Structure 1
Amino acid sequence: MRKRQIITGTIAASLVLYACKKEKQDPTYNPTAATVEVPAYVKTYVGEVPIPADNAMTAEGIELGRKLFYEKMLSDNSTMSCASCHKQENAFDDPRPFSEGTHGAFGDRNAMAIVNAAWDKHFFWDGRRASLEGQAHDPVSNPIEMANKWPEVVKRLQNSEEYPDLFFKAFGTSTIDSTLVTKAIAQFERTLVSFNSPFDKYYYKGDSAALTQQEKNGFMLFTGKAMCNNCHLTNTLFTDREIKNNGLDENPKDPGLMKFTGNAADRGKFKVPTLRNIGVTAPYMHDSRFATLEEVVDFYSSKVKQNSPNLDEHMPDFGSGINLTQQEKTELIAFLKSLTDKEFITNPKFSDPNN
């Protein structure tokens, strides 16, 4: 009798183990459709969050992308993730002038903030990529950054305990490839929307007390004398999403867009970044030449190089300089800092899921 009980128990345990193993091997593909919620006024100005036809948003895809964004296995020596150079507290920017790669090398351009990037048309400072999926691809194989090879990344993820199931739940296949990795990361990055700054509360939500008088004065300068909104449109995105030469140098050392197109007419042109959360994304410009907003405002006030090649058509409006007074500079900077969305830079939905 005792022997029969042991045999029966063993069979039952085996069946349970088999069922668990089968469940792990054959997870249910039942993705949950997801949307990125934004305020109605955003939709009025720039429409819904753009979603590619071949990368529909799902809860599973977003969560997988979030996990991959913080995954250090993407780098050659497993010490670096996307988040290593795109830190949430800095609006997914890097506070260092240039990001350090896995082997101690430094890039030659400042990392860009990832804020409302779903609406962008160009990615990287030189605009060489046209989608978030394309943007997510390059750093992994860049020899200065993550210095890895995509086949190695795929091998690591495929051999992991959890990723095959996560990819199945997100995309309906446990076979991982670089396309699915970048699609997942792009889904997560499309959720990084920021529209809850003090300025939003004042201008779009009608809270007259959300800005100080100094900040309100700065807003009037932004849209008036300082002409900042020529390129940084007050269309909720605070960028026209174009690539332009803003007159930094008479003889640009970095060719900018020209490096990608080979067209001399593109020399010195760089992506116009959003000004949202600009107060936490120092240093500034593609080469991090300005450490503070004060330096940025000084430049636009009186130091734009009018004979810079391919100078944007809006820049000549500055003539010999708009020459802001010290009080005006202080007011303008106060307004720029009112574009900081504290909820965005602390939102736990965007943080490392492993913490």
Structure 2
Amino acid sequence: MKLKYKYKVLIVITIMINLAISCRKPEDNNNNNSSCNGIGTMIPYTWFDPARFPKAVIPADNQMFVERIALGKKLFYDTQLSNNGESCETCHKQSMGFSASEVSSFDNGLQKMPLVNMAWYNNFMWSGRITGTLEDVMFAELTKRFTTDFNKINTIQEYKDLFCRYYGTDNITPELMAKPLAQFMRVLVSKNNKYDRFLLGLENLSIDEKAGHDIFFTEKGDCFHCHVQVLLTDNQMHNNGLDSVYKKDIDKGFYKVTGNLQDMGKFRSSNLRNVALRTEFMHDGRFKTLEEVVNFYNKDVHRGVANIDPVMLKPGKENGLNLTELEKKQLVAFLKTLTDNDFINNPDFKQ
């Protein structure tokens, strides 16, 4: 009798367990990793800082792997990230140093900044409205610029498989997608233009290029204060006397971020690498040639602006740089040495 009783109890327990399992609510694959088997084997990406460059900081929670960078490149060129058929590449053409030939309508007329050597930045956008890491920038681009539909993205099995394999989850969120995009942004490194080779003793500059170099990196031109050696940007905010009256909202710059009048008209120093490939200059693209830019600094700076950068008011510069026509041509000649043909033709960056 005792044995039969034990069997009956066992049968009842089994039935209860089966009922509990059958009644459990099905899990949503978009909110868990039930269909994901975890991170697969990946090849570590060996990062190195080019000669004379400062040390870049790679976030500990987004270590670099070859496969993650490839995923970031795939996303960079994918129009499915937007809702209007655009991709990141729409505004950032490799042939133009990952810039573009027109201002951004989305940004109310701001010029499209080049994507170059951003691994060494901590301030981003013309107005400095994003600080932190490239992951922060990519998150903002996905959520504010593209307003990416992540319900749609999570129906794309290819992406679910790739994120599972390289990040250990198939639930694709803005925070997660920002990571491979940031990795691709990080490897967009320009390090082999004529100026770089000159610094390394591998190539000589022409007479005019060397004269322009000396203007750029001395008090004669004062360019180097904001466009520092090697990186060619100090990544800081400056008012360069471009305007005395801020007619357009976008002309207010860093003030739009801080609300501090001392920041009115301040903008982040643009990186001058591959500058000769661009067709629009300054935050609003008002100048169309390098010659126009040099002429502005030579004689058209608004020195009466209350918060103008002190560099613009140095003794002897009350009437501008006072460069001769020859010196202006020499300065432009040096700026053209900043074009990196390896960078704009690198097959690793192409679609």
TM-based fold match above 0.5: yes
- For 1:11-47, what per-residue CA distance to the aligned partner results, in whole angstroms no more than 9, with x for missing partners? xxxxxxxxxxxxx9647522332133342322xxx12
User: 1:12 aligns to what?
Assistant: none
Do the aligned partners of 1:214 and 1:335 also contact (CA within 8 Å) in 2? yes
Aligned-residue sequence identity (percent) comes to: 41
The correspondence for 1:34, drawn from 29, 32, 45, is: 45
1:344 aligned partner: 343
Aligned residues: 310
**Structure 2 residue runs without a partner (length 5+):** 1-34
Larger mean CA deviation between 28-37 and 243-252 belongs to 28-37
Aligned match of 1:139: 141
Q: Is the CA contact (8 Å cut-off) linking 1:61 and 1:184 kept in structure 2?
A: yes
Contact 2:39 2:166 in 1 (8 A): no
Q: 1:28 to 1:244 in 2, by over 3 A?
A: closer
Contact 2:76 2:87 in 1 (8 A): yes
In structure 2, the residue matched to 1:171 is 167
TM-score, with structure 2 as normaliser: 0.84
Q: Which amino acid aligns with 1:40?
A: A
User: Alpha carbons of 1:265 and 1:250: their partners in 2 closer, same or farther (altered >3 Å)?
Assistant: same
Match of 1:213? Answer: 207
Q: Equivalent residue for 1:4?
A: none
Output the CA distance in 1 between the equivalents of 2:222 and 2:36.
Answer: 59
Kindly tell me: are residues 349 and 303 of structure 1, through their superposed partners in 2, closer, same or farther at Cα, counting changes over 3 Å? same
Partner of 1:72: 79
Deviation at residue 239 of structure 1 after TM alignment: 1.1
Gaps of 5+ in 1: 1-23
In structure 2, the partner of 1:99 is 104
Partner of 2:14: none
Larger radius of gyration: 2
Residues 133-167 of structure 1 deviation map (CA, whole Å, 9 limit, x = unaligned)? 2222333444xx53x3x4x2x22222113101111
Change (3 A) 1:111 1:321: same
Cα separation, 2, equivalents of 1:38 and 1:340: 19
Partners in 2 of 1:167 and 1:31 — Cα distance? 12
Q: Deviations over 1:107-134 (max 9, x none)?
A: 3211100110111121110111112122
**SS of 2:291 mapped into structure 1:** helix
Distance of 1:266 and 1:170 partners within structure 2? 42
* Alignment partner, residue 238 of structure 1: 232
Q: Distance in 1 between matches of 2:140 and 2:162?
A: 23
- The answer as to whether partners of 1:267 and 1:309 remain within 8 angstroms in 2 is no
Q: Secondary structure at the match of 1:345?
A: helix
C-alpha contact 1:218 1:333 (8 A) present in aligned 2: yes
What letter matches 1:90 in structure 2? M
